[in-house]
């Protein structure tokens, strides 16, 4: 299986890691990602006093907002596999009640039942065994606590305003570099939580709409001209042709991309 750069941020060339971390910051500012997070938060409902684990916390923006939600009597553990990412999160720390730590979501270094809730956003598509990671999240959550899983359904990705055949080639290129599990992760989350015996599993698909190439490029690598050419596996010339059609659609104001991201919550029994 090909591993995504987010599966091993520390193993990337330094400039690539810096670019991906900057991309995480930018995604956190994107109105559609913020809408996904608001939707997930309404379902997660962290309470004052809760101890929350942010599993795969990236640069820590969500961990800091969860710390505000649980208040001074609660706290957040922001766990990420990548030392460079934990360092970047520490640089962004604002004094809120967050403890940043390096670790693997598939082997969480916390006692059973030690947290009230786990938030895990756009991480499971990057791990080798999502069910093992979910089992770990269930283990560390007390009975009655909640899980909130957020992930992308790359198979939902669609474009308009660009030649349909070319769009199909570009989407197929991306799907070809992912495993079926990575392509479909978002829609599988509900089944995975039901399978782990969680109750009141609630799944919300949030379809993100990108009306300009610049807006899409924040979330969709194939629209981002900064993504290096060597990442593409299409025939020579396809990337350039595609990006020029994307630009033209942007200039005509009829570019459109849609992508569904799922937010799924459930109660641990």
**Interface residue list for ligand SAM (CB under 6 A):** 6-7, 9, 24, 28, 56-58, 62, 80-82, 85, 104-106, 121-123, 126-127
Comparing CB distances to ligand SAM, the nearer of 179 and 234 is 179
Nearest-approach distance from CB 213 to ligand SAM, in angstroms: 21
Nearest-approach distance from CB 160 to ligand SAM, in angstroms: 26
Nearest-approach distance from CB 232 to ligand SAM, in angstroms: 20
The residue length of the chain stands at: 269
Nearest-approach distance from CB 91 to ligand SAM, in angstroms: 14
Q: What residues have CB less than 8 Å from 33, skipping those under 6 apart?
A: 27, 208, 218, 219
Strand-pairing partners, residue 264, are 149, 203
- C-alpha count within 13 angstroms, C-beta hemisphere, residue 40: 27
Comparing CB distances to ligand SAM, the nearer of 58 and 161 is 58
Comparing CB distances to ligand SAM, the nearer of 167 and 182 is 182
d(CA 77, CA 64): 10
Angle at 131 between CA 175 and CA 143, to 5 degrees: 140
Q: Closest residue (Cβ) to ligand SAM?
A: 58
Comparing CB distances to ligand SAM, the nearer of 57 and 141 is 57
Give backbone dihedrals phi and psi of 20, rounded to 5 degrees, phi first: -70, -35
């Amino acid at each position: 299986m090909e591993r995504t750069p987010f599966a091993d941020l520390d193993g990337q060339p330094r400039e690539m890691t810096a670019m991906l971390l900057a991309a995480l910051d930018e995604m956190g500012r994107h109105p559609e990602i913020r809408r996904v997070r608001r939707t997930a938060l309404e379902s997660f409902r962290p309470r004052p006093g809760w101890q929350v684990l942010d599993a795969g916390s990236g640069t820590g923006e969500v961990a800091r907002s969860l710390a505000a939600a649980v208040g001074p009597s609660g706290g957040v553990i922001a766990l990420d596999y990548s030392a460079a990412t934990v360092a970047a999160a520490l640089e962004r720390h604002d004094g809120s009640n967050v403890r940043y730590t390096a670790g693997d979501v598939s082997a969480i270094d916390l006692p059973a039942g030690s947290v009230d809730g786990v938030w895990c956003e756009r991480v499971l598509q990057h791990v080798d065994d999502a069910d093992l990671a979910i089992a770990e999240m269930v283990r560390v959550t007390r009975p009655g606590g909640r899980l909130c899983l957020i992930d992308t359904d790359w198979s939902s990705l669609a474009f308009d305003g660009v030649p349909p055949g070319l769009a199909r080639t570009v989407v197929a290129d991306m799907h070809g570099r992912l495993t079926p599990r990575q392509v479909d992760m978002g829609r599988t989350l509900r089944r995975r939580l039901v399978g782990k015996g969680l109750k009141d599993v609630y799944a919300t698909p949030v379809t993100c709409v990108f009306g300009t190439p610049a807006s899409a490029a924040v979330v969709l690598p194939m629209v981002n001209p900064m993504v290096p050419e060597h990442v593409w596996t299409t025939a020579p010339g396809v990337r350039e042709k595609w990006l020029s059609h994307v630009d033209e659609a942007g200039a005509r104001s009829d570019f459109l991309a849609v992508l569904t991201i799922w937010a799924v919550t459930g109660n641990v029994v």
